[in-house]
Amino acid sequence: MHASTTSPGYCCPQITVELDTEDDGTYTFLAEGNGPAMEECQNACVYAKDSNKTDLYCFKAVTSADLGNGQVQCEAISPYSLLMSTTPAVTGPTAEELLKKIEDLQKDFEAQVNQTETLKKDLADQTKKTGDLEVELKKEVEAREAEVGKIKTEVNSIDGRLNKTEVREAVCGYKESVYVSTLTNLTIDRVIDEVDSSSGGELQTDGSFKAGAAGVYFVDLEASVGLNDGEYLLGFLRLSSGSYAGNQEEIFIYSNNHVVNSGGSSSSSSGIVEQASASRYVSMSAGETLHIALEPYGGQVRVWYITMCVSLYSASG
């Protein structure tokens, strides 16, 4: 069935069928057909119904009486229902639209370039800030390390002082009496460790003291000596290093009995018992020894109740 409004050789773009049957619907022109199947079709026009592209239709010529109350209407095709044909319309942007699009793309490209440059600048700024921060952190670390080093030095110094303070020595020797007629080294009958030695120092019964640690030692001697008129007793403090030897500094004890009357002349013979005491500080190296030598003049003298003590005053090194 073909709409009566068409003319031979013309395919209607779109046909609306209203026959109140299952054939009602919108038919859209697809192509001009050929072959035996087209013999019954008006002008060999091939259509698709609605959106179905699988089933193909064509219309044949009928009279108005054959249509009855139905209607088959040829219509101009709507833009939204345009389907493929043998001669599809070719559409595209105009030159002005293309130029406008190129301008928009150029602007977008420039915007992207500007944004990239901004990002590069931000990255450079961040890199510089990071570099500055690294420099500051390095300075801070160096300062902290220097401070830690200073603290370590102070701690080591304190440890050293504590170690030296912890080094202790105090030892005494006792001898009841001895007769001295010539230069004689003082010997000891009994040794008493007043403080347990942490320095390793020792006082031997032969009267020699050996320093366990380098430092300043305090040497003390207490005794009583019997002297007749004209007699005296000298005591010498002698170190194995030779310190103080050969001068008056090595004299440790000097006891003298020389009775003189009011006129300045010697009186009759008289004897005395005198306290012979002396003390001093001496500097000793580790392993160095000291002893006291007694030397009488004018005869044999007796020395009683001898106590010799040596203590470490201050460790050094």
Can you give the residue ranges of every domain in the chain?
14-81, 170-260+270-315
Closest CA to 284 of 222, 221, 209: 209
Place of tokens 């942007």: 93
Return phi, psi of residue 185, to 5°. Answer: -75, 130
Q: What's the token pair of residue 312?
A: 């470490």
Closest CA to 290 of 186, 196, 198, 197: 186
Number of separate helices (H) and strands (E) present in the chain: 2, 16
* CA 161/CA 164 separation, integer angstroms: 5
Residue 274 has a pLDDT of 84
Q: What's the token pair of residue 149?
A: 């080093």
Residue 269 has a pLDDT of 55
Residue 92 has a pLDDT of 59
Residue 240 has a pLDDT of 92
Say if residues 73 and 5 touch (Cβ distance below 8 Å). Answer: yes
**pLDDT per residue as tens, the chain (317 positions):** 444 444 556 788 999 998 888 889 999 988 887 777 777 787 788 889 887 777 888 888 888 777 788 888 888 765 544 434 444 444 556 667 777 888 889 899 999 999 999 999 999 889 888 888 888 899 999 999 998 988 988 887 776 665 655 678 899 999 999 999 999 999 999 998 888 766 788 999 999 999 989 999 999 999 999 988 889 899 999 999 988 887 777 888 888 887 655 555 555 457 788 888 899 999 999 999 999 999 999 889 999 999 999 999 988 85
Query: Looking at this protein, which amino acid is placed at residue 20?
Result: D
According to CATH, the topology of domain 170-260+270-315 is Jelly Rolls (2.60.120)
* CA 60/CA 50 separation, integer angstroms: 19
Residue 4 has a pLDDT of 44
Cα torsion 154, 160, 166, 169 to 10°: value is -140
